[in-house]
Structure 1
Amino acid sequence: MFNGLVIDEHALLALSSAAIENEWFDTFPLPDITGLKRIELDDLCYILSSRADEKSRLLVMRAGPQGVFASARSPRHLFDRIVHVSLSQFENGISIPVKWRSFHEGTLLSVYAQPEAIAVKQRAYFERAPDDTSHLYAYAVTDSVEEFANVSLDISLFRHALDKYLDAVVAAPPVAPHDGGAFGIILTEPLGTTLVGGHSLKEWYGTRLTAEQRSFVDHDHKTPVRLKGAAGTGKTVSLAVKCLIDLYKFEDDGRDARVAFITHSVALAQDVIPGMFSALDPSGRWLELTRASLFLGSIYELARDLLQYERKSLKPLSTDGQEGREFQAILIEDAINTCLKKTKFAVRDLAACSADLAAWIKDPARRRGLVQELINEFACVIDAENIRKGTAAADSYVNDRREPWQMPLRTEQDRQVVLDIHEQYCLELERSNVLSMDQMIADFNRYLLTHEWRQLREKNGFDLIFVDEFHYFNRAERMTLHNLFRRSAITEGRLPLFMAYDLKQAPTDAFMGRLREDAGNMFKSIGAGETELVELTQVFRSTPEIANFLRDLDGSFPALDLAGEWGAYSSNSVEPHGDVPTLVTASTITGLVDDVFRQAQSAANRHGGRQVAVLCLNDDLFGKYLKLGRIADKFVPLTSRDEVAQLKYAGKRCVFSTPDYVAGLQFHTVFLINVDRADLQDDDGIGKRRRFVSRCYLGASRAKKALQIVSNAERGGPADILAGPLTAGSLKQIV
């Protein structure tokens, strides 16, 4: 047994996408993997890349009976977290997820060692500068939260590993068998690799880009550009290709240029985009630039870093948009429950508001739907416009005309009640000692107007900014972008801002404001100058049959006055033909679950688990299905976007999630379940209908070759949004 495991920074990138079983941690065996070698020296095991040298930064892990893996509930999950912490130290643009609850004391760091479902309290401990070096030392795991002073730090193992390192670099590796699956470790393709189809940056630019994509990639930096396209038209690929080409041009020209690739999701920035970059350029040049630099992360990570929250001991609710909304839902429900315990609110205020809203607030069975509506109202209106009780903005909120997409609040008292809940929600945030994402963005916008930022803007601002999934950004988030540029990047009032989006994939109304903007004003509010539009019309993901279904489903969207930004689906697939998507109505919930997962398992056996997804449109049912023991071994769950890295463990199991969590991913086969009439009533408002159709559109558009829609007869059968595709023949009903 080894007392230490040592991995150099370049080998970490390869191992970050490896599927590792728990038995691997006995002896750390390594099959014949190109570019990696395994060396045994004394009681140490080294896994090194061909690029390892005396300047390489190292991850050193204490192993053996007293090591980090010995007490870990799940060694593989711990290893994944240790690798991620290492990459966050060694690479730019990678951060530790907020859910891991990191604590710092000088150069010491601790994080939760396991996912919540496995062991909440176990924590892993790191020394981020052992002996004042730039290496990282993972030295302990505890079963509960402990003070750093109470956790033994044996630095001698680190010193021993460092002393033997150069001997390991020059040592010849033993001959390894050519059997990648016999050692408990399988090197899988990084997420994002499939999105570029195995083609290099040179191949994409030279022969694979369409004329529309090429015009975007070749666009100069004198004006902001909107890249609009339906799902599967290659928006993210186009952004990635242009980002690398422009970044390398800056580097080759010797310019100290700063480039940002900003997303709304940490998972997209850390698990998908790097895989795309690595597939486009396997040399990893984008990680080793000497003049130009790249920030890759979410808008919240950027805000957190520039506002220096770590130094101020402040914690945001999250740095991932989707994860943050989940935490927000918990706090809003707590706020509602607290308000209901107050006599004035429960007796007088609710009695004065409309009967429908009062009944909705009082009914625990309908609570999830209420919370989702309030999340939308807080994010898109109240927090976005900094509305607080007792202010002129609050008076305007209470008295102004409401837009059809907003939460149905028919009377002034209805809106006052919502402001009461929001006030209590803000108190819940303060008690939890965290800032909401909306509060963080509001502070960020104010910071970007300070004298301090004016002084630092030329140093820390950007020359070029790319934004993916722009449809997730609300008005306040969009307004941060123009102040992030260096002044030298401005050309006659225009900024080199490149935005990719598809408004119909937005599961919330974040892109809209209370005073609804038309398309032109929506982009003018960014402050980057008049934008140019490049629209992608060729679909490369889905078969023509799935594209036809999406086109007909598009007709179910309610009309929104967003001019050309809300035009009809106009994309055509260039992929080979396949089967027409099908609609199946299960007579019972039990029958639905059993039949769908039986089919999904069969498909996963044929295509691989990472290529098959079961996506549930109803969040409450999704939570219940996750707990069903009889299907637990048939799927890998994705319950947030930051879990997408766990797809490497899918094997022959399908992926089970909701449309929101798999945005940006694609699958050979998709089962979209619970598209039920019960979730969309005739009297539901425009906003709820648009969000329902968007989630259905988002889920269905993840499918490349096969799509099955499933509804439940006990919940009213198929939702009426499927009537158009059924009539047009792009959806075939199976009896």
Structure 2
Amino acid sequence: MIPIVVTENALHILSSSALAPDWLVNFDDLISLRDIFIIARPEAIYIATHSCSPDTRILIIQRQKQGLFEGIDSRDRRSVFDRCARIAFRYFDSAVSLNPRWMPFHAGNKISIFAFGYGRSDRIAAEQGPLGSADVYVYGFGTDPKMQDLATYQPDLDVYKRAREGLPLALSAVPLSKKDFSEGSIDLSDVEPSSISQGFTYSDWYPLHLSKDQLRFVDNPLSGPLRLRGSAGTGKTLAMIIKALKTKYDADESGDPKRILFVTHSWAMAENVDRLISKMDIFPDSISDISVIPLLYLANNRDYSRIDREPLGIDSEDGKRLALREISSVIDEFVAGDWIAYRSGCTEDFVGLVEAAPGSTARKLFSWDLLVEFGCVLAAQGILTHAADRERYLRVRRLRWMMPLDNAAEKSAVFALWAMFMSALREKRWISSDQIISDYLNDLSTFFWEAARQKNGYDVVFVDEMHLFNAQERLIFHNLLRNAENPPTVIMALDPKQSPRETFTNISDERDNGSEGILERARLPNSEKIDLLQVYRYTPEIGRVIRSVHDAAPGLDFPEDWDVPQGSSSTESGDIPEFRTVDGKLQVYKLAITSALDLGKQAQQRKGRVAILCMDSDRFGEYLAATVTQYPEIVTISSRDDTEKLRYSGKRSILSTPEYVAGLQFDTVILIDANEDQVPEGKYRSYHFRRFLSELYLGLSRAERKLLIIASKDAGGITKTLKPAIDAGQLKEVK
């Protein structure tokens, strides 16, 4: 089959457009895109724009009947194309990065990456700069073992050469004018992240359009650590971007250029912030530089692919389920083996959890508890699996947010499970993101970094969504600064109530007598605090329901910064949020889908979309599978990085969880399975309730105009946490 040739300009348009997956096979959808044309020639199919010149950079993709793209399931074609495009963008612009979870292999100017997510081994192989050009040639796809030894996996350069030589002839065939496809065309402003910036530049926003508190934050001098606190929708990310740009402009004006780092927790958020900065920056060619990087990419400076290790993260549905499945298998192995040595010293409640039947609710909850304990306590403290590490773990002071462990026997049993889990990761050649962070922290404590930080360090570090970083990750930020002697200029935005796991929490040793807080332990002491009180996103009616959840927090002994003021909504009034209770999960799903399709028309008229957000992790997996097969018009978001799909999905409704869409807003939210049984009665209730409350707050606060909550009778009905809002008439039942 002849290859596809996409010019650089056309590649940017395609990457930002909402197109049906079949365009990669028949190309019909492309005729609706402004400025895009298609020329089919014997040597290639060319996709270009009217402004292209013969020497423009191009991406060439060698098509295959069993591979790109005919041999790929139509639901996966778009994401595979986007990974091909990402390789090209990375080569065209060094500021663009590749997701480390794609496990890139390098050999000279060749590269290969995973084509799909977890559980599939297909890879994409490409050559960057073939025959000394500035182009990218994707020449391989599949599971051929040679792709792991790219030095021997050679492309057919004759295919590339013919396609490149045919480009001038293809461009000469372009008509002088093109029909204006006003119907069916894509308005790129609809898929860009303009909801935060509202299409304004820096000079539009600063200083006239910022609130009093935002302006105080932006103008605050860089004299040490600074916290920007605010509820969802108060404009924290916007204020952070404006301050980063102002820092850049001020540095240039003073003749003292700065290296500025803007750190995010997820890949998608980094790209979102990067695009916002590009849209708002009025001096893009200034001497000072702003780098927007996810922390995991920053930390992944070792090439783990060389030791055949695949990163395993738990911020995706696939990664989380793999980890939970592995933990459950480890529990089975533990019960059949060493458990007898610990059992007699453990409480009856703990014994019941360990010995719960596989697949039972108790086993699932215990696996979740262990996942949190492993990530937010053991890994967050850099605790490994040696005898000395066991002693360190036994000394960890148990706080109320942690999994209840009553004695040394229960702690020792959990440590044994941790050691078995780590062993299982090694056997499967996985490496967790916590292990990557631990390695990076060690690198930052070397003499090499001490010598290099003056050149490679940063003058100012901005950390968005600080509440998503755990104790170990928070230790990194002050180490990235050039000057280790001055007060750390680390600027943080946070709202701990939006932390879906126990990440923004403190950990201490039983021998500690001090009362160090979270930020003190992160080496960011005495940070100044500025609160944003004006909410710009959701209606006052939605805000009242959110406040009722916020008011449930005081009795739970939450850590510092949970007292972020709720503020007041400055948007116009809307409908009173509603809830419905149905019989079971099938009825929940059907009602959610029909409601989304119905409410979606209203949301689109307001240039918004509908999000179905699920509170039950087990049911979400079932809903996800059903939606993929039965409702392809609904976009599924099953990881934080998946939110990138929203750029090219128009205003289609989505199905996800509150955790995966943290930081995003939707015109309408349908929050499903906000059920009372999500927090079972018993000794562990308050511990599980804390996690549930964060997820509930996060889900509610994603809604801008309309909110519908659906619960099921077979899972206890609607959570009692919302009873005050129901009693006050702030949340009304619809039959």
- TM-score when scaled to structure 1? 0.88
> Aligned equivalents of 2:423 and 2:30: distance in 1?
52
* Partner in structure 2 of residue 437 of structure 1: 433
Instruction: Note the alpha carbon deviations across 1:173-197, whole angstroms, 9 max, x for none.
Output: 54222226669x8857345222222
**Alpha-carbon distance, 1:325 to partner:** 4.9
Q: Specify whether residues 562 and 598 from structure 1 end up closer, same or farther in structure 2 by C-alpha distance, changes over 3 A only.
A: closer
**Alpha-carbon distance, 1:389 to partner:** 5.4
* Partner in structure 2 of residue 411 of structure 1: 407
Aligned-partner SS, 1:159: helix
Q: Specify whether residues 191 and 354 from structure 1 end up closer, same or farther in structure 2 by C-alpha distance, changes over 3 A only.
A: farther
Is residue 14 of structure 2 the alignment partner of residue 12 of structure 1? no
> Aligned equivalents of 1:90 and 1:331: distance in 2?
40
* Partner in structure 2 of residue 551 of structure 1: 547
Letter in 2 for 1:590: L
State which drifts further: 431-440 or 173-182: 173-182
Q: Specify whether residues 29 and 633 from structure 1 end up closer, same or farther in structure 2 by C-alpha distance, changes over 3 A only.
A: closer
**Alpha-carbon distance, 1:474 to partner:** 1.3
Q: Specify whether residues 310 and 407 from structure 1 end up closer, same or farther in structure 2 by C-alpha distance, changes over 3 A only.
A: same
Letter in 2 for 1:128: Q
- Conservation of the 8 A alpha-carbon contact between 2:67 and 2:142: no
Instruction: Note the alpha carbon deviations across 1:637-681, whole angstroms, 9 max, x for none.
Output: 111111112235655752111110111111111111111111113
- Conservation of the 8 A alpha-carbon contact between 2:234 and 2:533: yes
Aligned-partner SS, 1:383: helix
- Conservation of the 8 A alpha-carbon contact between 1:180 and 1:186: no
**Alpha-carbon distance, 1:268 to partner:** 1.2
Count of residue pairs brought into register by the alignment: 720
**Alpha-carbon distance, 1:395 to partner:** 3.1
> Aligned equivalents of 1:653 and 1:201: distance in 2?
30
Aligned ranges 1:190-339 → 2 under 5 Å: 190=191, 192-250=193-251, 257-270=258-271, 272-281=272-281, 286=284, 289=285, 291-305=287-301, 307=302, 309=304, 315-318=310-313, 325=320, 327-339=322-334
Residue of 482, 494, 503 corresponding to 2:478: 482
**Alpha-carbon distance, 1:368 to partner:** 2.5
Letter in 1 for 2:336: K
State which drifts further: 244-253 or 725-734: 244-253
**Alpha-carbon distance, 1:15 to partner:** 2.4
> Aligned equivalents of 1:67 and 1:425: distance in 2?
36
Aligned-partner SS, 1:523: helix
**Alpha-carbon distance, 1:513 to partner:** 2.6
Q: Specify whether residues 95 and 325 from structure 1 end up closer, same or farther in structure 2 by C-alpha distance, changes over 3 A only.
A: farther
Instruction: Note the alpha carbon deviations across 1:125-169, whole angstroms, 9 max, x for none.
Output: 211231244431112333665545786611123234444557777
* Partner in structure 2 of residue 576 of structure 1: 572
> Aligned equivalents of 2:164 and 2:252: distance in 1?
33
> Aligned equivalents of 1:112 and 1:395: distance in 2?
39
- Conservation of the 8 A alpha-carbon contact between 1:191 and 1:645: no
Q: Specify whether residues 529 and 121 from structure 1 end up closer, same or farther in structure 2 by C-alpha distance, changes over 3 A only.
A: closer
* Partner in structure 1 of residue 709 of structure 2: 709
Instruction: Note the alpha carbon deviations across 1:212-239, whole angstroms, 9 max, x for none.
Output: 1112222332222101000000111111
* Partner in structure 2 of residue 77 of structure 1: 79
> Aligned equivalents of 1:385 and 1:341: distance in 2?
29
Residue of 608, 616, 632 corresponding to 1:618: 616
Q: Specify whether residues 222 and 169 from structure 1 end up closer, same or farther in structure 2 by C-alpha distance, changes over 3 A only.
A: farther
Q: Specify whether residues 268 and 568 from structure 1 end up closer, same or farther in structure 2 by C-alpha distance, changes over 3 A only.
A: closer
Aligned ranges 1:9-408 → 2 under 5 Å: 10-25=9-24, 26-27=26-27, 30-31=30-31, 43-48=43-48, 57-63=57-63, 68-74=68-74, 75-92=77-94, 94-114=96-116, 120-142=120-142, 146-147=146-147, 148=150, 153-163=155-165, 173-179=175-181, 187=188, 189-190=190-191, 192-250=193-251, 257-270=258-271, 272-281=272-281, 286=284, 289=285, 291-305=287-301, 307=302, 309=304, 315-318=310-313, 325=320, 327-342=322-337, 344-345=338-339, 347-363=340-356, 364=358, 365=360, 366-388=362-384, 391=387, 394-395=390-391, 397-398=393-394, 401-408=397-404
RMSD: 3.4
Aligned ranges 1:413-562 → 2 under 5 Å: 413-487=409-483, 493-515=486-508, 521-559=517-555
> Aligned equivalents of 2:524 and 2:563: distance in 1?
24
**Alpha-carbon distance, 1:591 to partner:** 2.4
* Structure 2 unaligned regions, length at least 5: none
State which drifts further: 129-138 or 617-626: 129-138
Letter in 2 for 1:733: E
State which drifts further: 71-80 or 493-502: 71-80
* Structure 1 unaligned regions, length at least 5: none
Q: Provide the identity percentage.
A: 29
> Aligned equivalents of 1:211 and 1:36: distance in 2?
45
* Partner in structure 2 of residue 636 of structure 1: 635
* Partner in structure 2 of residue 728 of structure 1: 728
Instruction: Note the alpha carbon deviations across 1:96-150, whole angstroms, 9 max, x for none.
Output: 3355444333332223335669xx4543221123124443111233366554578
Aligned-partner SS, 2:190: coil
Letter in 2 for 1:501: L
Aligned-partner SS, 1:273: helix
> Aligned equivalents of 1:64 and 1:349: distance in 2?
57
Letter in 2 for 1:626: L
- TM-score when scaled to structure 2? 0.88
Instruction: Note the alpha carbon deviations across 1:327-373, whole angstroms, 9 max, x for none.
Output: 5434323322332332x32x343344222222212222133221221
Instruction: Note the alpha carbon deviations across 1:567-606, whole angstroms, 9 max, x for none.
Output: 2643100000001112221133332222222111101133
